[in-house]
Amino acid sequence: MKVVDPPDNQFGVPLPDGSWTGMMGLLMKRECDICLGPLSLTPQRAQVVDFTFPVLIGTNKIIAGRGSPEVDPWGFIHPLAPLVWVAILAALLAVFTVTVLLSCCLPANTLTGTTLLTNSSSFVRVLFQQDIFESADYWWWERLVLGVWMLMTLVLTRSYTGNLMSLLAVRYIPEPIQTLQDVVDNTVTMIVPKGAHQEFFFTEAESGVRRTIADLQQVGRFKVISFPEMSTALDALVRRGDHVLINSISYHETNMGLDFSRTGI
């Protein structure tokens, strides 16, 4: 058995005359019998060579530079989910409504706008952990509703305070790039390996977000580089935050392991 390396050290890309470079070219020229490597099954390659049953099914991941730890200015909202905030406002509106409806059952001479406004404002003051008006004239049912509201807000505020302190004690590391659409929406440049299926994944797309990313090449935000340049691009471009790189997860795991061995972080 003889092992032959492709002259350009690539998997292979199609040329205008119908031939291929790299490993694919060696197969088509009958200069080798089989090719071993992480060759992805693509429609273009399947038209010129035969693939065996998949030995490994992998996934592609986007790798981006890690942001600097920072404090989220909207962190005071995060301890409670949006649905909880909506429920609080709904409950506050409900106690207001109950107070008004029950007050309508009182004699006209005992119900004044000032008394109703003062008693109703007590619910807001309790929510913001302020005192209530001691001189206010509360009926027994108003005291009952106010007591239930105090108990509910006590549990709510204690939970909110504890979660907020935990969130403020830990800095937030922004990770804006999670999907392909994030690459389009943010001012970052996508890097793909030359001759790999990731290049065809974008350049052969006719529509959708993949076609949009491929069209970014016209403004310099889509780059195709060779595999020997990938390691340099990780340190010089991706690490600084304005470039992202897409490749197989096995490639990323290998490079992250090598980077940890080199830097220790």
Q: What is the pLDDT of residues 160-186, one digit of tens each?
A: 777 777 777 667 777 888 889 999 998
Span(s) in the chain for CATH 3.40.190.10:
1-57, 60-68+175-263
Q: What is the mean pLDDT of residues 119-134?
A: 70
β-pairing, 243-248 vs 189-193, is parallel
Q: Which CATH architecture has domain 60-68+175-263?
A: 3-Layer(aba) Sandwich (3.40)
- Mean pLDDT, the chain, as a whole number? 79
pLDDT per residue as tens digits for the range 56-69: 777 888 888 877 77
Taking 50 as the threshold, does the pLDDT of residue 109 lie above it?
no
In one-letter notation, the amino acid at residue 72 is D
Q: Which of 8-17, 52-61, 103-112 shows the lowest per-residue confidence on average (mean pLDDT)?
A: 103-112
Provide the residue count of the chain: 265
Counting residues of the chain whose pLDDT is more than 90, the rounded percentage is: 7
pLDDT at residue 222 greater than cutoff 90:
yes
> What would the pLDDT profile of 129-146 be if each residue is shown by its tens digit?
777 655 455 666 667 777
Cβ contact 238:191 at 8 Å? yes
- Do the Cβ atoms of 92 and 124 come closer than 8 Å? yes
Tell me the longest C-alpha to C-alpha distance in the chain.
107
Helices 82-103 + 140-169 axis angle, to 10: 170
Structure tokens at 117: 């406004």
Higher per-residue confidence, 200 vs 220: 220
CA-CA distance, 45 to 262, in Å (whole number)? 37
Which stretch of DSSP H or E encloses residue 156? helix 140-169
Q: Write the CB contacts of 70 (distance below 8 Å, at least 6 apart in sequence).
A: 171, 172, 173, 174
> DSSP character for 219?
G
The SS3 assignment for 240 reads coil
The mean pLDDT of 92-99, rounded to a whole number, is 79
Superfamily the domain 1-57 falls into: Periplasmic binding protein-like II (3.40.190.10)
pLDDT at 244: 92
Reported pTM: 0.57
pLDDT in tens, 227-239: 778 878 888 888 8
What is the arrangement of strands in the sheet containing 243-248, beginning at the earlier edge strand? 60-64, 243-248, 189-193, 222-225
